[in-house]
Amino acid sequence: MTNGGVPIKPAKFNYLRPSSLEEAVHYLSEYGDDAKVLSGGQSLIPLLNMRLSTPKYIIDIGRVGGLSYIHADGESLVIG
């Protein structure tokens, strides 16, 4: 399907859904520039649909434990 000659569906990719931070880091290390991280998807999904980004791997970290916090740590803000 196209919109004025522009694709509106993403190219094929491998979807990976790690269950731990260690597994996510492993995927990122293994696939490097061929991978993109998906969390909320509000910015990545439109890029995929318009094929402005065509990664071979999508690593969905949306449900990885320990990555959903924000807290002050002395004079720093820690976002996980």
Domain boundaries, given as residue ranges, for the chain = 2-79
pLDDT digits (tens, 9 = 90+) for 9-58: 899 999 999 999 999 999 999 999 999 999 887 889 999 999 999 999 99
Other C-beta atoms within 10 Å of 54: how many?
A: 13
In the block, tokens 């790690």 appear at 18
What is the CATH number that goes with domain 2-79? Answer: 3.30.43.10
Spatial CA neighbour of 80 closest among 21, 16, 35, 26: 21
Q: Please tell me the pTM assigned to this model.
A: 0.76
* Bridge partner residues of 38 (DSSP): 60
